[in-house]
């Protein structure tokens, strides 16, 4: 009997000592493993109290509602991390629903997109792409092993740390998730290519670049548009589209990483949202977008969200301000460089585009056109020379692997 009591007390002490923490980030993705490419379990609500089980670089293994999984470290407030049983309201908090199921989130996001597309051209089949997986965690680990064979990934990533121009808080809340998916489905209506081998490769390269951004924990997806002209679009939820025409210009993996890094940077910097704020002339619309950016946004009707989503679509598929393009160029090469790629890949692509003056290649709204890159080549070259030359022997281009997948 004494032994049983002792075991019960020991278990109670262990449970008491387990560290708990409060979810401070809205739309926190709860995944099966420490990476945005692992299957989604659900979404943890803000203010939920979870139990910390273990930690690794950028990720925390937790228990929530008897489920174990992984979330990003920045979803937690360091200030509120605590030992279980300390706060009186922890029992009250734990009795409230903490986890929104994957099925519930999927239904809400897809349902909004389906309604949005009723009066607009888009691809209804694209709705199946929400939380789709282009590669397995095992395939990605193999890709990483090949990519960093003979190189130290951590040392490579530490070569450039301070990024003054970077958005300090680029979180994608539930509204941006819904509207961004609707925008992506509308872009997909232009026509997609479905080469599984190419899509897997582009998504693995893109994911590697994303891991070197402050949105490392968010699931980005990359698609190939069936357009022979050089075009690329970034939806605000991290769904990125690159045309066959732009991919045909690219000659190696480093160039691909830099181009994807550029588009990823538009999402990190939330350029689409900023563009809408500058274009808006109606006070009501400005107030709505300010609410959208707030930490605890007010409830919006679907009609309001549809109006904002269409504005985001127009911003994503129109030429951006030169200042945004220069910023995305700089961040794009930084992210590629931190991933171990040769940052000169971006000016190489831009230089080739500069010579493509044939009308067959021209798209009036593309930022990847000869008449939209004025000054960008010199600007990004100067930035690379000034900031991204440390241990350049660690950089790779991976031309052979690129040719194997893309040609």
Give the pLDDT of residue 329.
98
Is the pLDDT confidence value at 11 over 90? Answer: no
Bridge partners of 239, per DSSP, are: 221
For residues 12 and 114, membership in a common domain is answered with no
Distance between CA atoms of residues 302 and 306, nearest Å: 6
Render pLDDT for 133-166 as a digit per residue (tens, 0 to 9).
999 999 999 999 999 999 999 999 999 988 889 9
Q: What pLDDT is attached to residue 90?
A: 44
Do 25 and 84 lie in one domain? The reply is yes
Residue reference for tokens 């293994």? 61
User: Tens digits of per-residue pLDDT, 54-73?
Assistant: 999 999 999 999 999 999 99
What CATH number does the domain containing 33 carry?
2.30.30.40
Domain end among 37, 66, 97: 97
* Residues 113 and 210 reside in one and the same domain: yes
| pLDDT tops 60 at residue 94 | no
pLDDT over threshold 80, residue 278: no
251 vs 90, 197, 261, 387, 401, CA distance in Å?
55, 17, 16, 24, 11
Residues 170 and 77 occupy one common structural domain: no
Which range is most confident: 1-10, 18-27, 258-267? 258-267
Q: What is the pLDDT of residue 333?
A: 98
Question: For 184-219, what is each residue's pLDDT tens digit?
Answer: 999 999 999 999 999 999 999 999 999 999 999 999
18 and 135 in a common domain: no
Asked if 333 contacts 348 with a C-beta cutoff of 8 angstroms, the reply is no
- The pLDDT assigned to 79 comes to 56
Looking at the structure, tell me whether residues 53 and 156 fall in a common domain: no
Q: What is the pLDDT of residue 168?
A: 84
Where among 70, 97, 124 does a domain terminate? 97
Residue 81 lies in domain: 2-97
For residue 81, the model assigns a pLDDT of 54
Q: What is the mean pLDDT of the chain?
A: 88
pLDDT bucket at 88, cuts 50 / 70 / 90 = very low
The DSSP H or E segment spanning 14 is helix 2-17
Whether residue 350 is found in the same domain as residue 277: yes
Same domain (yes/no): 204, 241: yes
Q: 0.75 exceeded by the pTM?
A: yes
CB 235 within 8 A of CB 273: no
- Give every CB contact of residue 390 below 8 A, 6+ residues apart in sequence: 159, 160
- Predicted local confidence at residue 374, as pLDDT: 86
Domain's final residue, options 97, 131, 166: 97
**Beta strand residue intervals within 35-186, DSSP E:** 40-44, 49-56, 59-64, 67-72, 82-83, 99-101
Q: Are residues 379 and 355 in the same domain?
A: yes
| Strand locations in 347-392 (E) | none
Number of folded domains that form the chain? 2
Longest Cα–Cα distance of the chain, Å, equals 88
Same domain, 81 and 223: no
């Amino acid at each position: 009997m004494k032994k049983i009591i002792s075991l019960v007390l020991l278990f109670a002490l262990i449970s008491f000592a387990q560290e708990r923490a409060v979810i401070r980030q809205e739309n926190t993705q709860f995944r099966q493993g420490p990476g945005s490419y692992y299957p989604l379990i659900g979404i943890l609500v803000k203010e939920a109290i979870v139990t910390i089980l273990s930690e690794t670089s950028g990720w925390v293994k937790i228990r929530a509602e008897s489920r174990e999984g992984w979330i990003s470290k920045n979803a937690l407030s360091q200030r509120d991390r605590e030992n279980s049983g300390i706060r009186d309201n922890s029992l009250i908090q734990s009795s409230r629903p903490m986890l929104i199921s994957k099925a519930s989130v999927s239904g809400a996001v897809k349902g909004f997109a389906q309604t949005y597309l009723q009066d607009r051209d888009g691809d209804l089949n694209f709705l199946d792409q929400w939380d789709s997986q282009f590669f397995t965690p095992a395939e990605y680990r193999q890709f990483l092993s090949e990519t960093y064979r003979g190189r130290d990934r951590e040392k490579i990533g530490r070569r450039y740390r301070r990024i003054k121009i970077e958005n300090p808080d680029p979180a994608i809340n539930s509204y941006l998730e819904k509207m961004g998916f609707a925008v992506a489905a509308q872009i997909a209506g232009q026509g997609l290519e479905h080469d599984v081998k190419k899509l897997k490769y582009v998504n693995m390269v893109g994911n590697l670049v994303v891991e070197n951004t402050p949105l490392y924990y968010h699931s980005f997806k990359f698609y190939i548009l069936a357009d022979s002209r050089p075009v690329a679009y970034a939806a605000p939820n991290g769904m990125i589209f690159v045309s066959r025409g732009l991919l045909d210009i690219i000659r190696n993996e480093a160039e691909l990483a830099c181009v994807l890094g550029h588009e990823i940077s538009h999402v990190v910097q939330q350029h689409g949202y900023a563009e809408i704020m500058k274009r808006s002339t109606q006070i009501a619309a400005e107030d709505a977008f300010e609410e959208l950016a707030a930490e605890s946004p007010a409830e919006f009707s679907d009609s309001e969200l549809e109006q904002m989503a269409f504005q985001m679509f127009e911003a994503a598929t129109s030429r951006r301000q030169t200042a945004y393009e220069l910023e995305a160029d700089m961040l794009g090469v930084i992210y590629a460089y931190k991933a171990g790629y040769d940052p000169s890949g971006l000016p190489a692509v831009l230089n080739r585009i500069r010579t493509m003056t044939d009308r067959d290649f021209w798209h009036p709204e593309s930022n990847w056109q000869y008449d939209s890159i004025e000054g960008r080549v010199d600007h990004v070259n100067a930035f690379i020379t000034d900031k991204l030359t440390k241990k350049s022997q660690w950089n790779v281009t991976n031309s052979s692997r690129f040719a194997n997948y893309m040609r």
